[in-house]
Structure 1
Amino acid sequence: MNKPLPLLPLNLGLMAASPQTGAQEGGYRLPPAALMEIVDAPRAPALSLSPQRNLAAVVQTPPLPGIAEVAQPELKLAGLRINPRTCSSSRFAFGTDLGLLDIATQKESRIRGLPRALRLADLAWSPDQRYLAFSHVAYKGERGSVELWLVDIAARKASRLSAQPLSAVLTRGFNWLPDSSGLLVHWRPAGIGKAPVSDGIPTGPIQQDSDPGGSLRQLRTYQDLLKNEADARLFEYYVTVQMVLLDLHGKGRPIGEPGQFSRTSLAPGGQYLLTQSVTRPYSYIVPASSFGERVEVRDLHGAVLHTVALLPLEEGLPPGNDAVSEGVRHVSWRADAPATLVWTEAQDGGDPARPVIDNIRDLVYQHAAPFREPPLVLARLTMRYAGIAWGRGDVALINERWHKTRDYKQWMIQPDHLSTPPELIYAGSYEDRYNSPGSPVMRADGSGFPRLLIGPGTTLLLDGAGATPEGDRPFIDRLSLTTKNKERLFQSAAPYFENVAAVLNDEGTLLLTTRESPTERPNYYLRDLTKPEHRQLTALTSYPHPTPQLKDVHKEQIRYPRNDGVELTATLMLPPGYDAVRDGPLPLLMWAYPQEFKSAGAASQTTGSPYRFNAVSYWGPAAFLAMGYAVLDNPSFPIVGSGEEEPNDSYLPQLVADAQAAVDEVVRRGVADRHRIAIGGHSYGAFMTGNLLAHTRLFRAGIARSGAYNRTLTPFGFQSEERPFWQAQAVYQAMSPFNNADKIKDAMLLIHGAEDSNSGTFPLQSERMFQAIKGLGGTARLVMLPNESHAYRARESILHMLYETNAWLDKYVRHAKPA
């Protein structure tokens, strides 16, 4: 559970100033006070429900961290970002307090004995609910460590379980034993010594080979990769761990020798240990997640009992979004059996273009301990395996999907009776939200493994978003697996949006929900469906409105057509006190993110709900309501490719049509001037912004955050585009705003995290886009935020982002005149 980092003091020398005009001007800037209040608004805590569903851990979420916290030392190795001070991920976010909420009494109690400056990184309930384990990131001067702490639930008291630090680079570093008698932990190995230091003198050239006759592979672009053997040794140092069985008194027993374990999992019966360990050779072109691995079953002393697979280094997949690894994948324990392995193997070598026998793409196997007999085929799938929900020997749900067609199927199988044919539970398109049946409700069993909540008469509970033409209305259904009949137990009703956070009893009549309205922030409620309607709800929390100064924001979910008949949806927001007759049209900020579809029907479906809370976040466009702007948030920007047509074959005309429809609608409603509209977006939304500025004059300015603008730099696909550049050169070239920078006549603000780790959005993308516009005499500004990745975290960075955006909008949009 990751929470924001603690706030560090802001440099008191920071002051609001006029827009910067040159590269020599630096320093973080402050936006107007109205925007700062939004950044510093109180945050609601996060809840973690206990296995018996009668308690919840309450983790307090602090304000944003300061840049000093975000700028801590960081190593970039094999796609990982590591804090060498703590031997953990450098991108942790922390909780700063921990309490317990009694669901029945609605009383919250404090935990005694917590660390003085708590930095809670992750937590886990023991299966028997007697304890709560959490990791705490401790700093002592220049040194740091990840400590394991234990909360005694009955005593409401915390204590450090062990002084030995955890290693939390590839995993969180701890998991409960199925019988709750202790934990399986990853310690920093004793005597590992100091990290290897390179003298900087090359030992030889860096060499890579590509042999003739190899199969066609898609090689996505990645960052933070290994560059040389010195990097490889450093990587090995930080991912090497010692597996330990740690009892509840802090006494540890090592399991075997240290190794580079990327995953360790005890079987439900507690007698076998599944391990995955990274193996050489490494790669300079793919991250650690694609390195080779040994998948093995061990005993609790570390002896290897069975080798499941030796997975090779994988430098790319076959073309297509339905491509997968060749050989064994998705290895796990069967949740409802003491020690049975389950995995999947592609029958087409992982290549969706390869013909297969009997149309079988994936086989799913199960293999019971002691693993002496051959594995058994659990399921034969005509699409790609997409997960399994375990119930008991006669009930499990297995899913398959195919991206190319967006098809999805769910089957009921009987894993203890393999001669029984599977029964189809659902078949449809996963794009079709209106007809989605929902997801089966799960609960943790006595060993801590998730299992289907199976009721009397072999019934399941389904939790769904409840998408309708009027908006989302979350629901709980009871499904009979015998008759396939459904009974609706609950559905959210106007004027509230109520979402089921958890089902608290086996019958599905006692629910933990979050309930909100446009003026009421989400709070937790207990809903008892056995009581009369007016007595069903009991409030568990009463979090106040985070931005009361914006409580009276007007929000409306609107529908409007595209020029080809596709129905679009957007959320229109207007500042408090706005009167269209009195105030007239406003400057407007539109914020969007395109999405690909395979059917116009799915693209036309309504998303969101008019009854959601009017949340005003610093991250999206709504913050600028405080500055007097109208906002069109999340307007539909569908890119539809029906049948054999790929969506991106007509990306630009559809994108322009989406934007034109949105602009026409807000102008028709009288809330915006056609000549005072800005467009913005993050990541793929920034890419969209660049294209709209290049191919239309609909917008006076664009705000493009952390985007990619030259698609030839992502030549093996991006978003849902599965064709490589060499197969669809015209599409890649046409879709690249960089290629059309000479056509950008309106002002473009580019903001990017200087340490962006997201595949495809290298900081170079924004740097080159800015250079192109500047060199061509256009209007642009580039802002690189130090130490920030794809999403920005430091308070100083967020405030500066808002400062730049506000200054840009004021300069180019607020007072713009008709062209």
Structure 2
Amino acid sequence: MKLRVTKIIVLAIALGFPGSELLAQSTYQTPPQSIADLANAPTTPSVRFSKTGDWMLLMEGADNPSIEVLSQPELKIAGMRINPATSGPSRGRGIENIIIKHTQTGEENQISGLPMNPHMGGFSLSNDEKYLAFTQTDADGISLWMIDMATYSAKKLTDKIVNDVYGNSVLWTSENKLLVRAVNPDRGSVPGKPSAPSGPIIQETTGDAAPSRTYQDLLENPYDESLFAYFMDSQLMEVDLQGNQKAIGASGMIKSMDLSPDGKYILVSLIRKPFSYLVPASRFPYDVEIWSSDGNKVKTLAEIPLDENRPTGFDATVTGPRYIRWRADKPATLYWVEAQDGGDARIEMEEREIIYTWAAPFAGEKQKLATSSYRFAGIDWSDDTFAIMSERWSKTRKDLRSIINPSDPSQPKQVIIERSFDDLYNDPGYPVMTENEFGRNVLLRKGDLVYMTSPGGSPEGDMPYLSTFNTKNKKEEILWRSQAPFYERVAKVLNDDATEFITLKESTDIQPNYWLVNRKKRIAPLQLTDFENPYESIKGIQKQLVTYKRNDGLNLSAVIYTPEGFEPGKDAPLPVLMWAYPREYKSKAVAAQVRGSQYAFTRVSYGSPLFWVTRGFAIMDRTEMPIVGEGDKEPNDYFIDQLVANAEAAIDEIVDLGIGDRDRIAVGGHSYGAFMTANLLSHTDLFAAGIARSGAYNRTLTPFGFQYEQRTYWEAPEVYFNMSPFSFAHQVKTPILLIHGQADNNSGTFPIQSERYYNALKGHGATTRLVFLPNESHGYAAKESINHMLWEMDSWLEKYVKEKNKLEKAQ
């Protein structure tokens, strides 16, 4: 039964009666019109280009769903959120329309025959690009559809058979057939919930350490186990273009599937028991099997055990094979990595990991391909003599890339890139890929030259570029670069020498659009799309990237927005909303780098602070809050001191510019930004108000690490205590608004974090308000929820920031 008026619970301090509490029940509210217009602006279509760039798909997305849609039945098990009626994910915005646009002529072709109530997803082009497959989600299931790209017409291929609860569900074969992970037709009815438990729920450990992060939505009892097994139960089906279906292999709890490049083998992962109540499905035990294309098992490659006992630390991993993939440059050769240190990053080893390969028909032994001194992070393939292997090490922020010769593993790897992955100014980027004869992505290169695209970090902000990187002398040659006053980056390279490519170009008030560029022919770039600016009401606002120094000399930056026509020094200083998200660094030089671009389009997402430039506020966005710990020092040992220094420097900058009123500055953030906000209000009186959305405030509730903190609570109890705003709730004298999704699924930000923090603040007489948004996750989705969140924030900012002087006089 649908409710006509959906209600939320708002816990609020009754303003004007210090110390008293009011439990208020309220309907959803809407923000002022200037904010609502931005929040409800139309979405821009997403774009996908053909291999040659001759045409593109324009996919028009749905608006935010209503709270009624978000309130449909949802099953939260094993770290997943399932819609039990569809055997698919419970959340997500589908595509509502598809148009084919030809890049040279601009001709547009509307796809006919689309579903009546389109909620499309899972788009996949056949290797010859003659057909486009997609899934359609209805209220009672997911069906498979196909578009004929020659006639621009869609048709339904199957009934609602698709099982989309976990991983990929549709693959094209080389014969233009589809391999579909379908609901097992023999799985029967959904298990019924027992009227009474059969006994207690017991977990036991026998002494092996099993540290685990605070995962959400885990299995809790035998009934949850039966539901998980039921919804994972799948059958691979081969579907042709006429909709004929054939079962492939045995049914099971299929975790993933992948066809070999030549289409002769299927790599299948099947989850098996025992399940776990401590970790999500991604860490349940599973078997990795190699099947023939008709479903006969050829080999069991690996039997991966339950992953509950992984060592602590971000560089820790599992034992046994992991990262099992097909080589992109071979018909049917697998590769994978195995840790030699037991997965424990604290063990010092030169050959920490070994990468193996195994070729069809999988009768011989695995072959050693290469070794890694850090954690293996993947391989970009080219051919049998050239590939780029990547390694990473989180503790030192190491990014290491090397050339390997797959045909001769005895040859030592040649290191070509060694840098901090935080270092934007010295980031050569990542290789440009092209498709080979198997339809797989391989390196675009000419001999020793590899084509690269880089974000182009610089003291002036990001200036993306296209380059060649010489893998012999490690030098790059920039072929093309974004130029001010635009922010432009390469979206797709179209030919072998990278002379023709498609870019995505934007400026502060020009919506991102695609352009065809030829860097050799003397012809002007051709604009391929003409998406309109959905935010015309703020087109005239002013934007500037500012840099300034912290008290220890560290360079900081932020992007400042001011209302149209505002003149610093002439007009009265404005109230300010400062929005930020702290980040940890191992180098002061890297932490001081400028991030982002002042020329990027001013896009307003639901979580953006930019709404309030329409309400007379100056916005200090992407305010850098670096926390630095060099060498053996850990950043979080200095978290509070550096956080406060960052905030002081930012406030001084916007005040000295003649923009901000020092007495009317609010600070806010989402997730770790909310955690930052609560800490700043605990340890300073710099701000007039704070807004904290979906944060974590008591670090003892995340005892095995959080964010970039790798130490456990028992290794660094003082860090966990001192970084917890909960520990200092008695010091908060600044009004703070807490907002949280009641169904938050993010690790560490359980809704109880806000509930307990609110109670602590209330108990010490703080001015605070707690708003829970029903059925919302870590990010908010329903239109009603977003509008109400904006109303709450606007009301808070109006009362405690903009009207601060009036409020103080009234009190």
The answer to whether 1:642 aligns with 2:638 is no
- 1:176 aligns with 172
The answer for the alignment partner of 1:273 in structure 2 is: 266
Query: Against the structure 1 CA distance between its residues 360 and 809, is the aligned structure 2 distance closer, same or farther, given a 3 Å change threshold?
Result: same
- How far off is 1:484 after superposition? 4.3
> How far 1:20 sits from its partner (Å)?
9.1
Aligned residue number for residue 260 of structure 1 = 253
Contact 2:51 2:494 in 1 (8 A): no
In the alignment, the residues of structure 2 paired with residue 606 and residue 316 of structure 1 have an alpha-carbon distance, to the nearest angstrom, of 40
Aligned ranges 1:434-583 → 2 under 5 Å: 434-455=425-446, 457-482=447-472, 484-532=474-522, 535-583=523-571
Aligned to 1:109: 109
Shift of 1:105: 2.4
Q: Which one of the candidate residues 272, 285, 292 is aligned to 2:285?
A: 292
Instruction: Give the corresponding residue for 2:222.
Output: 229
Q: What pairs with 1:92-103 in structure 2 (closer than 5 Å)? A: 92-103=92-103
Residue 29 of structure 1 contacts residue 800 of structure 1 at CA under 8 Å; is this kept in 2? yes
Q: 1:781 to 1:436 in 2, by over 3 A?
A: same
CA contact (8 A) 1:681 1:689 kept: yes
Matched, 1:353 2:346: yes
Deviation digits for residues 270-305 of structure 1 (CA, Å, limit 9, x no counterpart):
111111111100111111011001011111232221
Secondary structure of the structure 1 residue equivalent to 2:68: helix
* Residue-by-residue CA offset, 1:573-630 (whole Å, 9 max, x unaligned): 1011222344311110000000000000000001011111122333210111111111
- Partner SS, residue 258 of structure 1: strand
- Specify whether residues 160 and 344 from structure 1 end up closer, same or farther in structure 2 by C-alpha distance, changes over 3 A only: same
1:189–1:240 CA contact under 8 A, matched in 2 = yes
Distance in structure 1 (CA, Å) of the matches to 2:13 and 2:63: 27
Q: Take 1:763 and 1:785, find their aligned partners in 2: how far apart are those partners?
A: 10
Q: 2:333 aligns with which of 336, 340, 349?
A: 340
Q: Which of 408, 411, 418 does residue 420 from structure 1 map onto?
A: 411
- Residue 389 of structure 1 is matched in structure 2 by 380
The list of structure 1 runs, each at least 4 consecutive aligned residues, that deviate by more than 4 angstroms after superposition, is 9-15, 482-485
Provide the aligned length of Structure 1 versus Structure 2.
798
Give the one of 275, 278, 289 matched to 1:282. Answer: 275
CA distance in 1, matches of 2:794, 2:419: 45
The equivalent position to 2:149 in structure 1, one of 150, 153, 174, is: 153
- Is the partner of 2:27 in helix, strand or coil? coil
The alpha carbon displacement at 1:443 in A equals 2.4
SS at match of 1:632: strand
1:25 equivalent in alignment to 2:25: yes
Code of the residue aligned with 1:604 in structure 2: it is A
Taking the aligned partners of 2:118 and 2:448, their CA distance within structure 1 comes to 45
1:206 correspondence with 2:214: no
Structure 2 alignment gaps of length 5 or more: 15-21
Aligned-pair CA distance for 1:200: 3.1
TM-score (norm 2): 0.96
> Does residue 1:668 correspond to 2:656, yes or no?
yes
- Find the partner of 1:794 among 764, 777, 782: 782
User: What residue is the counterpart of 1:303 in the other structure?
Assistant: 296
TM-score (norm 1): 0.95
CA separation in 1, counterparts of 2:548 and 2:309?
42
Instruction: Please tell me whether the aligned partners of residues 526 and 537 of structure 1 are also in contact (alpha carbons under 8 angstroms).
Output: yes
Residues 84-95 of structure 1 aligned to structure 2 (within 5 Å) = 84-95=84-95
Q: 3-state DSSP class of the match of 1:673? A: strand
> Once the 2 structures are TM-superposed, how far is the Cα of residue 507 of structure 1 from its aligned partner?
1.3
**Is this contact kept in 1: 2:63–2:93, CA < 8 A?**
no
Q: Which residue of 2 aligns with 1:55?
A: 55
Q: CA offset at residue 472 of structure 1?
A: 0.5
Q: Which residue of 2 aligns with 1:189?
A: 184
Provide the secondary structure at the position in 1 that maps to 2:229: helix
Determine if contact 2:87/2:141 at 8 Å carries over to the other structure.
yes
Contact 1:127 1:180 in 2 (8 A): no
Instruction: Name the SS of the counterpart of 2:38 in structure 1.
Output: helix
Shift of 1:454: 2.5
Residues in 2 aligned to 1:13 and 1:419: alpha-carbon distance in whole angstroms = 67
Does the aligned pair in 2 maintain the 1:127–1:445 contact within 8 Å? Answer: no
Cα drift, residue 458 of structure 1: 4.4
Taking the aligned partners of 1:244 and 1:275, their CA distance within structure 2 comes to 13
Instruction: Give secondary structure in 1 for the equivalent of 2:143.
Output: strand
**Alpha-carbon spacing, 1:547–1:297, altered in 2? closer, same or farther (3 Å):** same
- Find the partner of 2:727 among 735, 739, 760: 739
Percent of residue pairs identical: 43
**Deviation digits for residues 518-553 of structure 1, max 9, x if unmatched?**
121111111111223xx3311111111111111011
Instruction: Describe the SS at the equivalent of 1:580.
Output: coil
Do 1:149 and 1:161's aligned partners in 2 also have CA atoms closer than 8 Å?
yes
Match of residue 430 from structure 1: 421
Contact 2:5–2:27 (CA under 8 A) maintained in structure 1: no
Q: Name the stretch that deviates more: 709-718 or 324-333.
A: 324-333
How far apart are residue 482 of structure 1 and its match? 4.9
Distance 1:621 1:71 in 2: 27
Q: Structure 1: how far apart are the matches of 2:659 and 2:7?
A: 36
What are the superposed Cα offsets for residues 3-49 of structure 1, whole Å, 9 maximum, x if unpaired? xxxxxx9979999x9x9953233110011111110111121100122
Aligned to 2:591: 603
Aligned equivalents of 1:184, 1:65: Cα separation in 2: 31
Instruction: State the distance in 2 between where 1:276 and 1:550 align.
Output: 50
Distance 1:273 1:537, change over 3 A: same
Q: Secondary structure at the match of 2:24?
A: coil
Alpha-carbon deviations, 1:82-129, whole Å to 9, x = none?
001111011222111011122232322111111122111220111111
1:98 and 1:497 mapped to 2: Cα distance? Answer: 27
Counterpart of 1:155, as a letter, is: T
Q: Which amino acid aligns with 1:219?
A: S
Q: 1:484 to 1:459 in 2, by over 3 A?
A: same
What residue is the counterpart of 1:686 in the other structure?
674
Q: Does 1:400 align with 2:394?
A: no
Q: What amino acid does structure 1 have at the position aligned with 2:452?
A: L
Aligned equivalents of 1:102, 1:447: Cα separation in 2: 25
Equivalent AA in structure 2 for residue 486 of structure 1: E
Task: Please list, as runs of the form range in 1=range in 2, the aligned pairs for 1:315-326 lying within 5 A after superposition.
Answer: 315-326=308-319
Show structure 1 runs of 5+ residues with no match: 1-8
Displacement of 1:53? 3.4
Structure 1 residue identity aligned to 2:667: I
Q: Secondary structure at the residue paired with 1:163?
A: coil
Say which SS state the counterpart of residue 127 (structure 1) adopts.
Answer: coil
Could you say what secondary structure the match of 1:96 adopts? strand
Given that residues 213 and 705 in structure 2 are in contact (C-alpha distance below 8 angstroms), is that contact kept between their aligned partners in structure 1? yes
Cα–Cα, structure 1 residues 698 and 11, in superposed 2: closer, same or farther, change >3 Å?
farther
Asked if structure 1 preserves the Cα contact closer than 8 Å seen for 2:604 and 2:610, the reply is yes
1:420 shift after superposition: 2.8
Using the alignment, how far apart are the partners of 1:632 and 1:110 within structure 2? 42
Moved more, 99-108 or 366-375: 99-108
Show the counterpart of 1:6. Answer: none
Q: How far is 1:392 from its partner?
A: 1.0
Q: 1:416-467: per-residue Cα shift (whole Å, max 9, x none)?
A: 2223332221111111110111100112334332211223x44321010000
CA distance in 2, matches of 1:471, 1:594: 19
1:722 aligns with 2:715: no
Specify the alignment match of 1:784 in structure 2. Answer: 772
Distance 2:463 2:517 in 1: 16
In the alignment, structure 1 residue 167 sits paired with structure 2 residue 157: no
SS at match of 1:238: helix
Which whole-Å CA distance do the structure 2 matches of 1:780 and 1:682 have between them? Answer: 17
CA contact (8 A) 2:7 2:25 kept: no
Q: Which amino acid aligns with 2:784?
A: E
CA–CA separation in structure 2 for the residues paired with 1:10 and 1:419? 69
Letter in structure 2 aligned against 1:463: T
